Amino acid sequence: MNTIIKSAKSSDITSQSALLVIDVQNDFCPGGTLAVAGGDEVVAEINKISGYFSTVVLTQDWHPQGHHSFASSYADAAPFSSAELAYGSQTLWPDHCIQGSYGATFHPDLNTDCASLVIRKGMNASVDSYSGFTEADRQTTTGLAAWLQARNITSVYCVGLATDFCVGWTALDASAAGLKTTVITSACRAIDMGGSLAAMREAWDKAGVMEIDQIAVTE
Protein backbone atom coordinates (compact mmCIF):
# COMPACT_ATOMS: atom_id res chain seq x y z
CA MET A 1 0.00 0.00 0.00
CA ASN A 2 1.33 3.44 -0.94
CA THR A 3 2.26 5.39 2.19
CA ILE A 4 1.61 9.13 2.32
CA ILE A 5 4.66 10.98 3.63
CA LYS A 6 3.63 13.97 5.73
CA SER A 7 5.69 16.53 3.83
CA ALA A 8 8.67 17.22 1.61
CA LYS A 9 11.07 20.13 1.86
CA SER A 10 10.81 23.08 -0.51
CA SER A 11 14.61 22.93 -0.70
CA ASP A 12 14.24 19.59 -2.52
CA ILE A 13 12.72 21.48 -5.47
CA THR A 14 15.39 22.41 -8.01
CA SER A 15 15.62 23.86 -11.50
CA GLN A 16 15.09 20.29 -12.71
CA SER A 17 11.69 20.04 -10.99
CA ALA A 18 8.35 20.96 -12.57
CA LEU A 19 4.88 21.44 -11.14
CA LEU A 20 2.06 19.91 -13.21
CA VAL A 21 -1.27 21.62 -12.42
CA ILE A 22 -4.03 19.39 -13.74
CA ASP A 23 -7.42 20.66 -14.93
CA VAL A 24 -8.24 23.29 -12.30
CA GLN A 25 -11.21 24.42 -14.40
CA ASN A 26 -14.62 25.80 -13.54
CA ASP A 27 -16.55 22.69 -14.63
CA PHE A 28 -14.58 20.61 -12.09
CA CYS A 29 -15.27 23.06 -9.26
CA PRO A 30 -18.51 23.54 -7.28
CA GLY A 31 -21.24 24.76 -9.61
CA GLY A 32 -19.63 23.12 -12.64
CA THR A 33 -21.15 20.37 -14.74
CA LEU A 34 -18.71 17.74 -13.46
CA ALA A 35 -17.90 19.22 -10.07
CA VAL A 36 -15.42 17.49 -7.78
CA ALA A 37 -16.34 17.93 -4.12
CA GLY A 38 -14.11 20.64 -2.69
CA GLY A 39 -12.49 21.22 -6.05
CA ASP A 40 -12.09 24.94 -5.48
CA GLU A 41 -10.27 24.28 -2.21
CA VAL A 42 -7.09 23.33 -4.08
CA VAL A 43 -6.62 26.76 -5.66
CA ALA A 44 -5.01 28.59 -2.73
CA GLU A 45 -2.69 25.66 -2.01
CA ILE A 46 -1.63 25.40 -5.66
CA ASN A 47 -0.97 29.14 -5.82
CA LYS A 48 1.32 28.82 -2.80
CA ILE A 49 3.11 25.75 -4.13
CA SER A 50 3.66 27.20 -7.60
CA GLY A 51 5.96 29.84 -6.11
CA TYR A 52 8.54 27.15 -5.37
CA PHE A 53 8.90 26.15 -9.03
CA SER A 54 10.60 27.79 -11.99
CA THR A 55 8.72 25.46 -14.37
CA VAL A 56 4.93 25.21 -14.09
CA VAL A 57 2.72 23.41 -16.62
CA LEU A 58 -1.07 23.71 -16.69
CA THR A 59 -3.31 21.14 -18.37
CA GLN A 60 -6.78 22.02 -19.62
CA ASP A 61 -9.60 19.76 -20.78
CA TRP A 62 -10.74 21.31 -24.08
CA HIS A 63 -13.53 19.20 -25.59
CA PRO A 64 -15.48 19.91 -28.77
CA GLN A 65 -19.26 19.78 -28.68
CA GLY A 66 -20.54 16.20 -29.00
CA HIS A 67 -17.37 14.58 -27.67
CA HIS A 68 -17.62 10.79 -27.64
CA SER A 69 -16.99 10.71 -23.89
CA PHE A 70 -20.20 12.67 -23.23
CA ALA A 71 -23.30 10.69 -22.26
CA SER A 72 -25.35 13.16 -24.28
CA SER A 73 -23.71 11.83 -27.46
CA TYR A 74 -25.59 8.51 -27.11
CA ALA A 75 -29.28 7.72 -27.14
CA ASP A 76 -30.57 6.91 -23.64
CA ALA A 77 -27.08 6.82 -22.07
CA ALA A 78 -26.89 8.02 -18.49
CA PRO A 79 -23.97 10.02 -17.14
CA PHE A 80 -21.38 7.78 -15.44
CA SER A 81 -22.45 4.74 -17.47
CA SER A 82 -19.95 3.35 -19.99
CA ALA A 83 -19.58 2.63 -23.68
CA GLU A 84 -17.15 0.60 -25.74
CA LEU A 85 -15.07 2.82 -28.00
CA ALA A 86 -12.28 1.86 -30.37
CA TYR A 87 -9.69 1.99 -27.55
CA GLY A 88 -11.79 0.19 -24.92
CA SER A 89 -14.32 0.96 -22.19
CA GLN A 90 -15.08 4.65 -21.75
CA THR A 91 -16.90 6.26 -18.82
CA LEU A 92 -19.58 8.58 -20.20
CA TRP A 93 -19.44 11.95 -18.48
CA PRO A 94 -21.81 14.90 -18.31
CA ASP A 95 -20.91 17.49 -20.95
CA HIS A 96 -17.96 19.44 -19.56
CA CYS A 97 -15.07 21.74 -20.47
CA ILE A 98 -16.44 22.54 -23.92
CA GLN A 99 -14.07 24.66 -25.96
CA GLY A 100 -14.59 28.37 -25.39
CA SER A 101 -17.09 27.92 -22.55
CA TYR A 102 -16.87 29.39 -19.06
CA GLY A 103 -16.69 25.85 -17.68
CA ALA A 104 -13.53 25.15 -19.66
CA THR A 105 -11.68 28.19 -18.35
CA PHE A 106 -9.36 27.98 -15.38
CA HIS A 107 -10.73 28.81 -11.94
CA PRO A 108 -10.64 32.63 -11.74
CA ASP A 109 -8.45 32.62 -8.62
CA LEU A 110 -5.83 30.25 -10.04
CA ASN A 111 -2.49 31.93 -10.72
CA THR A 112 -1.90 31.20 -14.40
CA ASP A 113 0.75 33.90 -14.93
CA CYS A 114 3.42 31.51 -13.64
CA ALA A 115 2.75 28.92 -16.36
CA SER A 116 5.54 28.07 -18.78
CA LEU A 117 3.19 25.91 -20.86
CA VAL A 118 -0.52 25.12 -21.19
CA ILE A 119 -1.41 21.67 -22.55
CA ARG A 120 -4.92 21.38 -23.97
CA LYS A 121 -6.23 17.83 -24.16
CA GLY A 122 -9.35 15.94 -25.20
CA MET A 123 -9.69 17.93 -28.42
CA ASN A 124 -10.12 14.82 -30.58
CA ALA A 125 -13.87 14.14 -30.52
CA SER A 126 -13.29 10.38 -30.73
CA VAL A 127 -10.75 9.99 -27.92
CA ASP A 128 -10.90 11.05 -24.29
CA SER A 129 -7.78 12.29 -22.55
CA TYR A 130 -7.20 12.07 -18.82
CA SER A 131 -3.42 12.27 -18.77
CA GLY A 132 -1.39 15.34 -19.61
CA PHE A 133 1.03 13.03 -21.45
CA THR A 134 -1.00 10.45 -23.39
CA GLU A 135 -4.60 10.30 -24.57
CA ALA A 136 -6.98 7.47 -23.67
CA ASP A 137 -6.01 5.43 -26.73
CA ARG A 138 -2.62 5.13 -24.97
CA GLN A 139 -0.88 5.94 -28.27
CA THR A 140 -1.44 9.63 -29.01
CA THR A 141 0.93 11.83 -27.02
CA THR A 142 0.59 15.51 -26.13
CA GLY A 143 4.31 16.25 -26.49
CA LEU A 144 4.67 17.05 -22.78
CA ALA A 145 7.32 14.40 -22.10
CA ALA A 146 9.55 15.71 -24.89
CA TRP A 147 9.03 19.31 -23.75
CA LEU A 148 10.11 18.46 -20.20
CA GLN A 149 13.07 16.42 -21.42
CA ALA A 150 14.27 19.32 -23.59
CA ARG A 151 14.36 21.47 -20.44
CA ASN A 152 16.27 18.87 -18.41
CA ILE A 153 13.35 18.27 -16.04
CA THR A 154 13.91 15.07 -14.07
CA SER A 155 11.16 15.27 -11.43
CA VAL A 156 7.53 16.39 -11.42
CA TYR A 157 4.99 17.17 -8.74
CA CYS A 158 1.31 16.69 -9.66
CA VAL A 159 -1.63 18.64 -8.24
CA GLY A 160 -5.20 19.45 -9.30
CA LEU A 161 -8.39 17.65 -10.29
CA ALA A 162 -9.28 14.91 -10.01
CA THR A 163 -6.88 12.76 -7.99
CA ASP A 164 -8.19 9.44 -9.25
CA PHE A 165 -8.57 10.36 -12.93
CA CYS A 166 -6.64 13.16 -14.65
CA VAL A 167 -4.10 13.74 -11.87
CA GLY A 168 -3.69 10.01 -11.40
CA TRP A 169 -3.13 9.16 -15.06
CA THR A 170 -0.78 12.10 -15.49
CA ALA A 171 1.31 10.83 -12.58
CA LEU A 172 1.42 7.29 -13.97
CA ASP A 173 2.51 8.52 -17.39
CA ALA A 174 5.11 10.84 -15.89
CA SER A 175 6.63 7.91 -14.04
CA ALA A 176 6.53 5.78 -17.20
CA ALA A 177 8.43 8.58 -18.96
CA GLY A 178 11.25 8.15 -16.45
CA LEU A 179 10.45 11.16 -14.28
CA LYS A 180 10.60 11.03 -10.50
CA THR A 181 6.92 11.62 -9.75
CA THR A 182 5.16 12.89 -6.64
CA VAL A 183 1.49 13.69 -6.00
CA ILE A 184 0.81 16.43 -3.42
CA THR A 185 -2.46 15.26 -1.87
CA SER A 186 -3.38 18.51 -0.07
CA ALA A 187 -3.58 20.17 -3.50
CA CYS A 188 -5.81 17.51 -5.07
CA ARG A 189 -9.41 16.36 -4.69
CA ALA A 190 -10.89 13.06 -5.85
CA ILE A 191 -14.14 11.87 -7.42
CA ASP A 192 -13.74 8.41 -5.82
CA MET A 193 -16.28 6.64 -8.01
CA GLY A 194 -16.64 2.92 -7.31
CA GLY A 195 -13.33 2.63 -5.51
CA SER A 196 -11.42 4.60 -8.14
CA LEU A 197 -9.23 6.40 -5.60
CA ALA A 198 -7.99 3.20 -3.94
CA ALA A 199 -7.40 1.65 -7.36
CA MET A 200 -5.36 4.63 -8.48
CA ARG A 201 -3.25 4.61 -5.33
CA GLU A 202 -2.53 0.93 -5.90
CA ALA A 203 -1.47 1.72 -9.47
CA TRP A 204 0.80 4.51 -8.20
CA ASP A 205 2.40 2.14 -5.73
CA LYS A 206 3.24 -0.33 -8.49
CA ALA A 207 4.58 2.47 -10.71
CA GLY A 208 6.74 4.05 -8.01
CA VAL A 209 4.71 7.26 -7.77
CA MET A 210 5.12 8.91 -4.36
CA GLU A 211 2.49 10.75 -2.33
CA ILE A 212 3.14 13.61 0.06
CA ASP A 213 0.65 15.65 2.04
CA GLN A 214 2.33 19.01 1.54
CA ILE A 215 5.55 20.87 0.87
CA ALA A 216 7.16 22.33 3.98
CA VAL A 217 8.97 25.63 3.60
CA THR A 218 12.66 25.53 4.41
CA GLU A 219 14.87 28.54 4.91
* Lowest model confidence (mean pLDDT) among 80-94, 147-161, 165-179: 80-94
Q: Is 199 helix (H, G, I), strand (E, B) or coil?
A: helix
Instruction: Pick the catalytic residue from 97, 158, 166, 188.
Output: 166
Q: Are 122 and 90 in contact (CB under 8 A)?
A: no
Taking the C-alpha atoms of residue 121 and residue 160, their distance in angstroms, rounded to an integer, is 15
Instruction: Pick the catalytic residue from 23, 40, 95, 164.
Output: 23
Catalytic site residue 121? yes
Taking the C-alpha atoms of residue 111 and residue 186, their distance in angstroms, rounded to an integer, is 17
Cβ contacts of residue 127 below 8 Å, gap of 6+?
68, 85, 87, 135, 136, 137, 140
Catalytic site residue 9? no
pLDDT over 70 (residue 33): yes
pLDDT over 70 (residue 7): no
Taking the C-alpha atoms of residue 142 and residue 153, their distance in angstroms, rounded to an integer, is 16
User: Residue length, the chain?
Assistant: 219
Cβ contacts of residue 76 below 8 Å, gap of 6+?
none
Instruction: Pick the catalytic residue from 29, 95, 97, 121.
Output: 121
Catalytic site residue 166? yes
Q: What is the mean pLDDT of residues 205-217?
A: 90
**Predicted structure pTM score:** 0.94
Q: What is the mean pLDDT of residues 117-142?
A: 96
Q: Which residues of 183-210 are buried (b: 16+ CB within 10 A; e: fewer)?
A: bbbbbbbbbbeeebbeebbebbeeeebb
Set out the domains of the chain in order of their start, with CATH numbers.
4-65+97-216 (3.40.50.850)
